Amino acid sequence: MKRNSQLSDILHVLLHMAENDQPSTSESLARAMQTHPVALRRLMTGLREAGFVASAKGHGGGWVLSCALERITLRDVHEALGAPALVSLGFREDRPQCLVALAVNEALGAAVQEAEAALLQRLGRVTLAALAQDFHRRMAAQGQGWHRLEEHSHDED
């Protein structure tokens, strides 16, 4: 089963946008994430509604950050994406009649709820500014310079 990488993908895009001194087009962001621009725009919609990004059409247009990285937590981004499930642990039966299945589902359901609550709490303590700082520290440690998004391929990170 393929894991949902939307949160990771969007965090990656937002950090690229933070490094750009000009708007980033859907096409360039989608190319860097190896997805279709329409799929990227769908993900960006929630971020725009949350006030984290803005977009402009036409020549010179594209996506820009609309608030400081210090104000955006990973939890904020997760919620702007529609708060998809963080833990994907399935149940053998959704509405079991079997008493064993009921016991298993209750135990697993409680564990999933606890894990998601802990994960959301942790995501709420990490800002995009902290991610950007970590990125810059890693880049300096490797002696690398920043590459523009247009030169970027997802495999280079």
Find the helix or strand (DSSP H, E) in which 135 lies: helix 128-141
Whole domain around residue 82: which residue ranges? 6-151
Task: Over range 19-41, report the average pLDDT.
Answer: 88
Q: Is residue 157 part of a domain?
A: no
Q: What's 22's domain CATH number?
A: 1.10.10.10
- The tokens for 148 are 């523009």
Q: Is residue 113 part of a domain?
A: yes
Does residue 90 have a pLDDT over 80? Answer: no
Question: Rounded to whole angstroms, how far apart are CA atoms 153 and 52?
Answer: 24
How many structural domains are present in the chain? 1
Backbone angles phi, psi at 5, to 5 degrees: -110, 15
Q: How confident is the model at residue 153 (pLDDT cuts 50, 70, 90)?
A: very low
Other C-beta atoms lying within 10 Å of the C-beta of residue 16: 22
Furthest CA-CA distance within the chain: 63
Question: Rounded to two decimals, what is the model's pTM?
Answer: 0.81
Q: What percentage of the chain carries pLDDT values higher than 90? A: 44
Report the pLDDT value the prediction gives residue 156, as an integer from 0 to 100.
45
Most confident of 91-95, 98-102, 111-115, 119-123: 119-123
Hey, is 54 helix, strand or coil? Answer: strand
Q: Is residue 156 part of a domain?
A: no
